[in-house]
Amino acid sequence: MTILGYFLPIKDIMSFMLVLLFSVVIITLLFIWDDVYKQEFIKTYSVAGWFVSGLLIASISENAYKITGWNVLSFLNGFVTAKIVTDFRNLKL
């Protein structure tokens, strides 16, 4: 299972809580990492936070589209997903 698999549409509230807990723990650990090692060039917790936020927004819009059938939510999901894919393809490490 890939990291993106954690953000597939929610089947039940327990899986949502596990994803939320996993995200918070990862971002907290990255914040501690940056603080201990005085990371100044790129804040890794910030990058991870934006990544998780984007995936959660895409997941929320996909679930809302399935519930309501409102086309704007489908467009938002496609836009956010395309933005995430484009940003990762252009990422230079």
Residue 77: Cβ within 10 Å count = 19
Residue 10: the pLDDT is 58
Residue numbers of the domain that contains 58: 11-89
In a domain? residue 6? no
Given this model, what pLDDT does residue 7 score? 56
Residue 52 lies in a domain: yes
For residue 43, tell me if it sits in a domain: yes
In a domain, 3, yes or no: no
- Mark 20-46 as b/e (b = at least 16 C-beta within 10 Å): eeebeebbeebbeebeeeeeeeeebbe
pLDDT attached to residue 8: 60
Rama region for 2: left / alpha / beta (φ>0; ψ in -120 to 50; rest): beta
Show the beta-strand stretches assigned E in the chain: none
In a domain, 2, yes or no: no
Q: Which residues of the chain have pLDDT under 70?
A: 1-13, 91-93
Query: Is residue 4, in this structure, part of any structural domain at all?
Result: no
pTM: 0.56
pLDDT of residue 92: 65
Report how far residue 27's alpha carbon sits from residue 8's, in angstroms, rounded to the nearest whole number: 19
Q: Which amino acid is present at 64?
A: A
Total count of domains within the chain: 1
